[in-house]
């Protein structure tokens, strides 16, 4: 019993059985990570290249740790210090790396669809670690896995995603993953940061933060992606924080206790205050821990498949 896909390019390529298989495999790896010796020889002799064309801390470290815990050989590549800055194309870059006999590529790229494009031109398996404002599948998987760990199941849970939905790859992947698992999803944020056809994804749309928080079981607070915003979408960060920032006062005033999540990096004092991020209702550090187990599961399950001829 394996995954129905050779690559992990986006949540839209996975069915519910795939997601459950990844979760069950991650359960096993999470128990491995809590042992004194945290390594397993599952991917010995498999070489994985981490190719990052965009800045990353958590995702790159998390993938690298996952690969090393599985005993894979790891090659790290940062585009900023490579021949890409001399004008080399994406396919040339990856083919040169594959010529060194790499089995799998984990790639983050600023352009949407870069992983899909690459999967059609090279033989190695591709794992998308985020492509532009399109998808970030492993983040959505670890978020849903964290909700499952907290509540026992994702089905029937009410999850609100708050913030910059328009520029967020995390929001799209999360919506697809949560809907697949039977959760109810709402998005909340200023009208200017809502994609035009968001309703077509089958989610509720709310512009009042308090209403959204009173509706939900889980609030996933996204950061404002200033690096992707080419025009001003709201007057100032201060005004955004006044309307959509989550602080302890708001949290304590709600009808019930909700769980707070954040995919990171956190802009403390903007979308979420420090006392909320560090409160007992927050599972932000659990998400980081689960990220390693989920990525181990994805790499292990993909590596178990026969290579394309």
What's the pLDDT score for residue 307? 44
| Tens-binned pLDDT, residue by residue, of the chain (309 aa) | 789 999 999 999 999 999 999 999 999 999 999 999 999 999 999 999 999 988 888 999 999 999 999 999 999 987 766 666 666 788 888 888 888 889 999 999 999 999 999 999 888 999 999 999 999 999 999 999 999 999 999 999 999 999 999 999 999 999 999 999 999 999 999 999 999 999 999 999 999 999 999 999 999 999 987 766 777 888 888 999 999 999 999 999 999 999 999 999 999 999 999 999 999 999 999 999 999 999 999 999 999 864 433
What's the pLDDT score for residue 81? 62
The answer to whether the CB of 103 falls within 8 A of the CB of 86 is: no
Tokens of 306: 């026969």
Q: Which of 94, 96, 100 is closest to 121 using CA atoms?
A: 94
What's the pLDDT score for residue 305? 65
% helix, strand, coil for the chain, step of 5? 45, 15, 40
Q: Is 109 annotated as a binding residue?
A: no
What's the pLDDT score for residue 240? 93
What's the pLDDT score for residue 234? 86
Q: Is 169 annotated as a binding residue?
A: yes
Q: Is 28 annotated as a binding residue?
A: no
Tokens of 129: 């670690």
* Backbone torsion region of residue 157, taken as left when φ is above 0, otherwise alpha when ψ lies between -120 and 50, otherwise beta: beta
Q: Which value, in Å, is the radius of gyration of the alpha carbons in the chain?
A: 19
Q: Which helix (H) or strand (E) element contains residue 32? A: helix 16-33
The answer to whether the CB of 158 falls within 8 A of the CB of 147 is: no
What's the pLDDT score for residue 97? 83
Q: Is 223 annotated as a binding residue?
A: yes
Query: What is the model's pTM?
Result: 0.95
Q: Is 139 annotated as a binding residue?
A: yes
What's the pLDDT score for residue 233? 85
Tokens of 188: 């909340």
Q: Is 59 annotated as a binding residue?
A: yes
Q: Is 158 annotated as a binding residue?
A: no
């Amino acid at each position: 019993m394996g995954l129905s896909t050779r690559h992990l390019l986006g949540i839209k390529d996975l069915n519910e059985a795939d997601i459950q298989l990844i979760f069950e495999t991650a359960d096993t790896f999470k128990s491995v990570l809590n042992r004194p010796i945290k390594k397993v020889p599952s991917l010995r002799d498999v070489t994985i290249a981490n190719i990052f064309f965009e800045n990353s801390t958590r995702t790159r470290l998390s993938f690298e740790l996952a690969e090393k815990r599985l005993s894979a050989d790891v090659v790290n590549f940062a585009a900023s210090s490579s021949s890409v800055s001399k004008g080399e194309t994406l396919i040339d870059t990856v083919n040169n790396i594959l010529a060194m006999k790499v089995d799998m590529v984990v790639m983050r790229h600023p352009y949407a669809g870069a992983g899909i494009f690459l999967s059609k031109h090279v033989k190695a398996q591709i794992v998308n670690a985020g492509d532009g404002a399109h998808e970030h599948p492993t983040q959505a998987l670890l978020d849903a896995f964290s909700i499952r760990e907290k509540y026992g199941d994702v089905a029937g849970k009410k999850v609100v995603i708050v913030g910059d939905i328009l520029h967020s790859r995390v929001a799209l992947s999360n919506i697809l993953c949560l809907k697949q698992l039977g959760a109810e999803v709402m998005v909340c944020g200023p009208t200017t940061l809502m994609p035009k056809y968001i309703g077509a994804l089958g989610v509720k749309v709310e512009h009042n933060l308090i209403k959204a928080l009173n509706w939900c079981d889980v609030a996933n607070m996204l950061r404002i992606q200033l690096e992707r915003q080419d025009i001003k979408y709201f007057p100032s960060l201060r005004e955004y924080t006044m309307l959509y920032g989550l602080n302890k006062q708001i949290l304590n005033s709600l009808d019930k206790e909700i769980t707070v999540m954040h995919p990171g990096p956190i802009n403390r004092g903007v979308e979420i205050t420090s006392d909320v991020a560090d409160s007992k209702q927050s599972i932000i550090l659990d998400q980081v821990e689960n990220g390693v187990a989920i990525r181990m599961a994805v790499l292990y399950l993909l590596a178990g498949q026969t290579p394309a001829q």
